[in-house]
Structure 1
């Protein structure tokens, strides 16, 4: 008796089968799209500034199969004032990032998140 496996027989279990890699990938549920740490840091920096100014009060984050969404609220029981979305399917076209208002109008879209977030920068006004 030895602790060595029997080399004469097959090492494969009887119920094993060969599956195509492409079939396996299609059968798996895709991982949800998420914001990376640097992206979330840039968004939360803007959020913190706006909370400090008293304009925003609450937020939510959704990680869906096709996109990630950061919603900003004036009050938690209302519709979001703005949605910051990351949609990787649009990365090669208009850009993966967009800022959308309550009415669904896209305020800004682009390939780089810091550029898209500039929509929240206030324009300087001349005071008489």
Structure 2
């Protein structure tokens, strides 16, 4: 390799790495928000497909409503907190829908878990 090619390669790599670090530091929160929304959207679509296969009753529709409401609330939170709470909720829903139907006790427990993860109104500011 000639000296000129080597120096140009080193120079370009240095500029590309510096630009990458700058963009990451400046715009990483936008990437996290975009990733969080896409992850929740894809998971929610798959969950809705599984919920459609469940026995039709009022709790199935209420479960869809509670999940959509909770996802909307989680989109406004920080990435790590939102992903942790979303994962806990999805894990519990997987357990609930294993038997193919939702009863009142399972729905009550899900609502309890969803409300447990919320902060009180006094501590919000």
Return the TM-score normalized by structure 2: 0.35
Bigger Rg, which one: 1
Asked which structure has the greater RCO (Cα within 8 Å, sep 6+), the reply is 2
Instruction: State TM-score, norm by structure 1.
Output: 0.34
Higher strand share: 1
In terms of fraction of residues, the more helix-rich structure is: 2
